[in-house]
Amino acid sequence: MKHLLDTRDLSLEEAVQVLDTADSMAEVGTREVKKLPALRGRTVVNLFFEDSTRTRISFETAEKRLSADVINFAAKGSSVSKGESLKDTAQTLEAINADAIVIRHPASGAPARLASSGWISSPVINAGDGTHAHPTQALLDAMTLRQHRSRLDGRPTQGSDLRGMRVALVGDVLHSRVARSNVWLLSLLGAHVTLVSPPTLLPVGIEDWPVEVRYSLDEAMAQELDAIMMLRIQRERMHAAFFPSSEEYARLWGLTPERLALLDSRGAETAILHPGPMNRGLEISSAAADSPRSLVLDQVTNGVSVRMSVLYHLMTGPQEQDRIPALQRTS
Amino acid sequence: MTEISRRHGSPHHRVSENARVILDSADVNRVLTRIAHEIVEANKGTQDLVLLGIPRRGYPLAQRIAQKIASTEPHFDPESCLGQLDITMYRDDLRRNTSRTPQPTRIPAGGIDGKNVVLVDDVLYSGRTIRAALDALGDFGRPEVVRLAVLADRGHRQLPIRADHVGKNLPTSQNESVQVFLRETDEPVALAAGDADRDLGDCVLLVPAASGADAVDVGKQETTGNDAEGTVES
Amino acid sequence: MSNQKYLIRGANLLGEETADILVADGTIARIGQGIEADGADVVEAQGLVALPGLVDVHTHLREPGREDAETVETGTRAAAAGGYTAVCAMANSNPVADTAGLVEQVWELGRQAGWADVHPIGAVTVGLEGERLSEIGAMADSRAAVRMFSDDGKCVHNAVLMRRALEYVKTFDGVVAQHAQEPLLTDGAQMNEGSVSADLGLAGWPAVAEEAIIARDVLLAQHVGSRVHICHVSTQGSVEIIRWAKQRGVDVTAEVTPHHLLLTDESVRSYDPVYKVNPPLRTREDVEALRDAVADGTIDVVGTDHAPHPVEAKECEWACAAMGMTGLETALSIVQQTLVETGRIGWGDVARIMSTEPARIARIDDQGRPLAEGEPANIVLVDPAAHRVVEPEKHQSKGRNSPYRSLEIPGAVQATFFKGHPTVLDGHINTPRALVAQAD
């Protein structure tokens, strides 16, 4: 594993290893000295072409807990808005000898471009690109699901996958990088994934995805579910005729107090996940968000552990290549 | 839940034909009994005693020593005095060797401040693992004393570190390798005839300077095993 | 005019009979066996296929406006290198080719460059804005004698305007070349909509957005009795609609690009913007349908849609990269690979789809002529047995955005005769025709 661009690139062994390591990292957060020396003297750049305070803080915490030097680069004037090009930014980071680049970008594929272009030699970690992928989010979701099952059956999380778990991803799949990365990772780990979405918010061409597709949340919830993951509805979608009104969306695809009550009346062990930030009253009711089923804060905590794990695996071990010689940089 | 079969650095089922048995199961048991007594003696009892095993094989050794202490010292509670100290993130060769999955660190509830900590590992070699362990300990508190117990000391120290309790002093040359097998962590060893009547569930083997295909196998173990401190060759 | 004579010895005419061709005074003086050199420069052509000079109905020369991407001079030099003797220059320059003055300027630049005939295509609407018709008649009457009109790059999506344009060009036997793309269905579109776009999270360009416009326009063309040409057909559904229209007697012609005959949207998985093009690369099924459609005559011509871009327009994230690929210098090879070597067509058909029909559609009378005595000496000699690895840095075009980089492709242009002058000789770019004329 040289880069982390998409969960689709992970093997089962790698995925389980990242999760196992994340479990070990979790313990560091409970210590008085919340720091490991593993990345001392190494420089990690958080290259954010798109605002995301939550994700940046999570990465920054992970980097600092591993003793890395952290540089935050909020590149708002990206080439999308006719500022400095991705190439020039990348080469600048290469010139200051960044040891890893965490990139968040509104354009799908930008991290892949960075990793394959030859502009830089350091590992690239995708912190969310366009509507393509958000691999660390999917990993933290998997870690949270693994803990959830471990709490129920008492077996250790270490070394285990998610075989037999049933997870529903509900909402805007079309525009969701979280959904895509979870589809690949959760199914790789053996979970049964159901996508629940209005047909307007499902991509065309997902016949080959390893998922079950349903349009009705109530039908999906009629089955036993170990977890329901609510996807965020972007406010701007409401004006693009994907659904008639936010009220109708909330009624048909929201995790309403009524649907929460249904879970409670059945005594189901269904956990509720949400990648945040939540639109309370739209895709998720406050009753659901604040219920004991909600693992939203576990997700935030696990985000740090998972990102520590990813940084550790990508930044230690023999580096695959030496730095690009200065003479070749101009190409 | 399904267990994924992964054995980081665990020995090959097959070992070199030329491997010599240094300690067998009975020897290991005797040695650990002695070390348990030595620890209590040096500590003048079990007051403030904390045993921390270094994964992977140091932890089961620490566990066994704790049980042996408990069998003679009724006031000693193995649960509250036993822990595991992972040193992966403190290694000084993180950039050279393949990254491995760190193991959880478990410090007993009483912490280590002012305690008499005994680090337990299987083989003492360059001393770098113990250096890393001392660094790791510093992040958890300030022990009164730190001592070191090892199953085998094979020499060739690269740092000013020594063991307080040694199961077996084993003079070796640098191109020999010392391999440890424990019931808790390893598959049983299959050896050539001659040792057929010995119980090798736990054992310490000395594998001579290897040649041919064996050289590759042993070399791999030295650099991937968590305990072999195999930084000398690289 | 050059009085240089050339004897092309032993060429394979359209891949069939072998003959010598004597070129003199810009025309084919003789075709026959064992012609004496008699002072002519001899071009040995054993094993080479002779075709009439290629004609491209769809080239972006970028001048005026984006001379950093291409000029008429570099674009036509690339055309010559690819075996072309005439190109139709698309109207989406800056300013747009929507006036007689501008099309004459481009035509004149082509004449001076001397690498190939340049036939400007006029914009259908002013500024390609899709609001009012440009001065179509003035462009037709200009020295450039424009017969083909297109807003390529944009679709003439207003049905009334399209109807009027179709009717109006009948005045001088013109044709409207439609870039079929329903704009609202493709707002922000980045690639073909299908399983790959679903995986990659790139906004989809559905096939229906092309097919719906084609269906409308063939019905409109039939209704008003006009000629319509469909640019860069890219989907199986489009092929079926055009086939149906031709069966009904609609005067429709259709074009396919080399890249749509070879590449699929699977290439986009790399996120390398060199594969970003409009219409987008489609699926394997579409590629097969397009190849079949060329073979059965549903698709009439191959047009390159040669679209050079400066390096920085492609060295960026997919979403902000420019659309388009270069094609002039690889088109013949891709046609050989996808259509000849798959047994779908012969070299005579290659002459039809890359020379005769393009010239007929664009109403270029002195191009796309048969290889016969007395005809203009527009001839390309291609070595079908050659193999070459594409190195865009060695192309004559300024554009380096060839999607075939590092790919080994068959066939190589050994010589191009443009009105009797070799613009390409011995497999290398030679000299433009105009310079030779001045030297005389």
Supply the pLDDT for residue B230.
34
Q: How confident is the model at residue B141 (pLDDT cuts 50, 70, 90)?
A: very high
Give the per-residue pLDDT at C45.
97
CA distances from A94 to A97, A116, A122, A183 (A): 5, 14, 8, 33
Q: What is the pLDDT of residues C192-237, one digit of tens each?
A: 999 999 999 999 999 999 999 999 999 999 999 999 999 999 999 9
Residue ranges and CATH numbers for the domains of chain B are 25-171 (3.40.50.2020)
Percent of chain B with pLDDT over 70: 80
The per-residue pLDDT for B193 is 54
Instruction: Report chain A residues touching chain C, CB-CB < 8 A.
Output: 8, 78-80, 85-87, 105-110, 112-113, 116-117, 129-133, 177, 180, 203-209
Position C364, amino acid: I
Of A161, A190, A313, the CB nearest to B99: A313
- For C279-327, what is each residue's pLDDT tens digit? 999 999 999 999 999 999 999 999 999 999 999 999 999 999 999 999 9
pLDDT at A29: 85
pLDDT at B194: 60
Stretch A21-31: mean pLDDT: 90
DSSP letter (8 states) at residue B188: P
* B97 CB within 8 Å of a chain A CB: yes
B77-118 tens-digit pLDDT: 998 999 999 999 999 888 887 778 898 899 999 999 999 999
Angstrom distances, CA of residue A225 to CA of A229, C38, C180, C313:
10, 90, 46, 48
Average pLDDT, chain B: 83
CATH match for A135-300 among 3.90.550.10, 3.40.50.1370, 3.40.50.720, 3.40.350.10: 3.40.50.1370
Q: Could you give the C-alpha distances from C382 to C339, C357, C387, C391, C397, in angstroms and in order?
A: 15, 19, 11, 19, 20
Domain C53-361 has CATH 3.20.20.140: yes
Per the CB < 8 Å rule, is B101 touching A36? no
**Token digits for C266?**
């699977």
Interface A-B: count of C-beta contacts within 8 A: 74
Q: What is the mean pLDDT of chain C?
A: 96
Q: Is A214 annotated as a binding-site member?
A: no
Comparing CB atoms, the residue among A79, A117, A177 nearest residue C320 is A79
pLDDT of residue B1: 31
Our answer on whether B and A touch (3+ beta-carbon pairs < 8 Å) is yes
* Most distant CA pair in chain C, distance: 66
Query: Is some CB atom of chain A closer than 8 A to the CB atom of B94?
Result: yes
Does the CB of B109 have a partner CB in chain A at under 8 Å?
A: no
pLDDT of residue B10: 43
Instruction: From chain C, pick out residues whose CB is under 8 angstroms from the CB of A108.
Output: 190, 200-202, 271, 318-319
- pLDDT at B100 (0 to 100): 81
Cβ contact, residue pair A204, C199, below 8 Å: no
Chosen from A12, A13, A21 to mutate, greatest number of chain B CBs within 10 A: A21
Residues in chain A: 331
- Reported as a single tens digit per residue, the pLDDT across A43-54 is 999 999 998 999
Which residues, other chains included, contact C185 with Cβ-Cβ below 8 Å and sequence gap of 6+? Answer: C206, C208, C209, C212
Residue B5 confidence (pLDDT) above 80? no
If you average pLDDT over residues C25-44, what whole number do you get? 94
Mean pLDDT of chain A: 91
Please identify every residue of A annotated as catalytic: 54-55, 82, 104, 134
Chains in touch with B (3+ beta-carbon pairs under 8 Å) read A
**Residue contact C319–A209, C-beta within 8 A:** no
Specify the range with the lowest mean pLDDT, choosing from A266-275, B205-214, C51-60, C340-349. B205-214
DSSP letter string, A63-131: HHHTT-EEEEEE--S-GGGTSS-HHHHHHHHHHTT-SEEEEEESSTTHHHHHHHSSS--S-EEEEEETT
Which of the residues A108, A202, A234, A330 would you substitute to probe the C interface, choosing the one with the greatest number of C C-beta atoms within 10 Å? A108
Asked if A36's CB is within 8 angstroms of B6's CB, the reply is no
The answer, yes or no, to whether the previous bond of C279 is cis (omega within 30 of 0) is yes
pLDDT digits (tens, 9 = 90+) for B159-170: 999 999 999 999
Q: Which of C142, C77, C173, C65 is nearest to C416 (CA)?
A: C77
Sheet order of strands, A124-129 included: A69-74, A43-48, A100-105, A124-129
pLDDT at B157: 95
Contact residues for B224 (Cβ-Cβ < 8 A; gap 6+): B8, B9, B97, B98, B100, B230
Binned at pLDDT 50, 70 and 90, residue C387 comes out as very high
C223 labelled ligand-binding = no
Predicted local confidence at residue B11, as pLDDT: 42
A132 is in an annotated binding site: no
Closest chain C residue by Cα to residue A80:
C320
* Residue C305 is among the residues annotated as catalytic for this protein: yes
pLDDT of residue C3: 61
CB contact (8 A) between residue C204 and residue A180 = no
Ramachandran assignment for A259, one of left (phi > 0), alpha (psi -120 to 50 degrees), beta (any other): alpha
> Is A115 within 8 Å of chain B by CB?
no
Query: What value does the mean pLDDT take over residues A284-300?
Result: 97
CA-based nearest residue to C52, from C351, C253, C255: C351
* Average pLDDT estimate for A229-250: 88
Catalytic site residue from C305, C349, C383, C440 = C305
Give, as one character, the DSSP assignment of residue B194: T
pTM across the whole model? 0.89
Architecture of the domain defined by C6-50+374-439: Roll (2.30)
Query: What pLDDT is attached to residue B196?
Result: 65
**What residues of chain C have any CB closer than 8 angstroms to a CB in chain A?**
190, 193-204, 206, 270-272, 312, 315-320
Contacting residues of C for A208, CB less than 8 Å apart: 195
Mean pLDDT, range A16-41, rounded to an integer: 92
Inform me whether the C-beta atom of residue A40 falls under 8 Å from chain B C-beta atoms.
no
Question: pLDDT class for A310, splitting at 50, 70, 90?
Answer: very high
Cβ atoms of residues C362 and C54 within 8 Å = no
Does residue C416 contact residue C80 with C-beta atoms inside 8 Å? yes
Apex B178 CA angle, B175 and B180, nearest 5 = 160
CA distance A314 to A317: 8
Q: What are the sequence ranges of the domains in chain A?
A: 7-133+302-330, 135-300
Average pLDDT of the segment spanning C379-408: 98
**Domain ranges within chain C, ordered by starting residue:** 6-50+374-439, 53-361
C428 in a known ligand binding site: no
Average pLDDT in the C130-134 region? 96
Stretch C258-268: mean pLDDT, rounded? 98
**Is A317 annotated as belonging to a binding site?**
no
pLDDT of residue C79: 98
ipTM of the complex: 0.91
Q: List the Cα angle A53/A58/A61 in 5-degree steps.
A: 120
**Cβ–Cβ of C198/A203 closer than 8 Å?**
yes
B20 touches chain A (CB under 8 A): no
Q: Would you say domain A7-133+302-330 falls under CATH 3.30.365.10?
A: no
Residue found by looking up tokens 């992972």 in the block: B86
Q: Is the dihedral of CA A269, A273, A278, A279 positive or negative?
A: negative
Is there contact between A and C if contact means ≥3 C-beta pairs under 8 Å?
A: yes
pLDDT band at residue C278 using 50, 70 and 90 as cut-offs: very high
Counting residues of chain B whose pLDDT is more than 90, the rounded percentage is: 64
Which among C196, C204, C317 has the least Cβ separation from residue A110? C317
The residue type at A82: K
Cα dist from A28 to A33, A158, B87, B115, C148, whole Å: 8, 16, 13, 21, 71
User: What per-residue confidence (pLDDT) applies to A20?
Assistant: 96
pLDDT of B218 above 50 = no
Return the ∠ at Cα B134 (arms to B164 and B83), rounded to 5°. 80
Q: Is the pLDDT of residue A322 over 90?
A: no
Residue C179, annotated ligand binder? yes
Examine the pLDDT at B12 and tell me if it is beyond 60. no
Q: State pLDDT tens for residues B27-63.
A: 999 999 999 999 999 999 999 999 999 999 999 999 9
pLDDT at B8 over 80: no
Q: Do A79 and C201 touch (CB under 8 A)?
A: no
Among the partner-chain residues A105, A132, A208, the one whose CB lies closest to the CB of C200 is A132
* Candidates A12, A17, A35; nearest CB to B101: A17
pLDDT score of B192: 59
pLDDT band at residue B14 under the 50/70/90 scheme:
low
Picking from B99, B100, B105, B224 by the largest number of A CB atoms within 10 A of its own CB, the best residue to mutate is B99
The answer to whether residue B2 scores a pLDDT higher than 70 is no
Chains C and B touch (3+ CB pairs under 8 A): no
For the segment A238-247, the average pLDDT, to the nearest whole number, is: 86
* Contact yes or no for C78/C396 (Cβ under 8 A): yes
Q: With CB atoms and an 8 Å threshold, state whether A130 touches C202.
A: yes
